[in-house]
Amino acid sequence: MPSSAIQDYYPDDVAHCYGCGKLNEHGHQIKTVWDGDETVTRFIPKDYHTAIPGYVYGGLIASLIDCHGTGTAALAAYRAEGREFHTQPSLRFVTASLHVDYLKPTPLGVELELRGKVIELKGKKVISEISVSADGEITARGKVVAVQMPESFLKGDTL
Amino acid sequence: MPSSAIQDYYPDDVAHCYGCGKLNEHGHQIKTVWDGDETVTRFIPKDYHTAIPGYVYGGLIASLIDCHGTGTAALAAYRAEGREFHTQPSLRFVTASLHVDYLKPTPLGVELELRGKVIELKGKKVISEISVSADGEITARGKVVAVQMPESFLKGDTL
């Protein structure tokens, strides 16, 4: 069965992101899929991804929100164009800005669920709101402003 | 010579943060020091901390800003109390919210410099603005709202 995760269709030239690149063997390799009108990523932190013992490091939460946001943006952009996300030309987004509110400590040792909702899609910009839950409780909320990557990036040119 | 980095004086119970804990052998172990009225952290990303090849992953930049912000908050709180930061009781901050604007791609392979300025210090809350530079050019700007960690955390109690 083909993958339903957008990251599995990022072109190889831009599939090395530490957060979500399928070609980064050191990285988190998150996978973002549609669930109705929301997007979902699930991730189990390592025991060393700690803030204070027993709780998840805020930088990891920010990282997951960041890559979930760019994945959400790409999924939404394909859907807006009425295209399947394995079709060409590829749509790949980068982060213009990231905001995270840490509502309460996020426990380590359980799977985290990130859920994204697109709140604006206009031209090459997609804004999404993202929640992070652990054990069914929302522990952080984020907002990601993502912009479509210039085509030159996709061709492997220098910036 | 004693260390001038705030993280070297975090109590052992709360020195496991992946971003800045001296006791996290997997983590970044950043070190934040005063430079006049600004705070400074320097960090060289690994080659796998990549976004697209050649550029630093945004999640790492967010993580560095996060921990530089809590370190800046602790340094500023000690200074506001007229105390050296190796004295008791310990002051340790956690992040309430984090904002990052990615201004341009951050090149890999060079040392990053984060500089922080305290823009508000009131009660148990410290807000700082942070710049990230590579090769002398600012590539990202952040804002961290940090709050003093409840004393119960420092005693190793559960939350």
B85 φ/ψ angles, rounded to the nearest 5 degrees: -85, 10
Segment 87-146 of chain B within 8 Å of chain A by CB: 94-102, 105
Residue of A nearest to B105 (CA): A159
* pLDDT range class, residue A46, cuts 50, 70, 90: very high
ipTM score above 0.85: yes
Between strands A32-35 and B93-102, the pairing is unpaired
Of B18, B94, B159, the CB nearest to A50: B18
- Which structure tokens are listed for A125? 């910009």
pTM: 0.94
Q: Which residues of chain A have a CB within 8 Å of the CB of B27?
A: 48, 57
3-state secondary structure of B75: helix
* pLDDT range class, residue B158, cuts 50, 70, 90: very low
- The reported pLDDT for the residue numbered A86 is 83
Q: Measured at the alpha carbon of residue B90, what is the angle toward residues B30 and B157, in degrees to the nearest 5?
A: 95
Q: Which residues of chain B have a CB within 8 Å of the CB of A52?
A: 13-14, 16-17, 94, 149, 153
- A98 and B94: CB-CB below 8 Å? no
Which amino acid appears at position B68 of this protein?
Answer: H
Calpha distance A52→A121 (Å, rounded) = 37
Q: What integer is the mean pLDDT of B106-123?
A: 97
Q: Which residues of chain B have a CB within 8 Å of the CB of A149?
A: 52
Best CA proximity match to A23, nearest among A34, A15, A14, A11: A15
Best CA proximity match to B40, nearest among B76, B72, B82, B7: B72
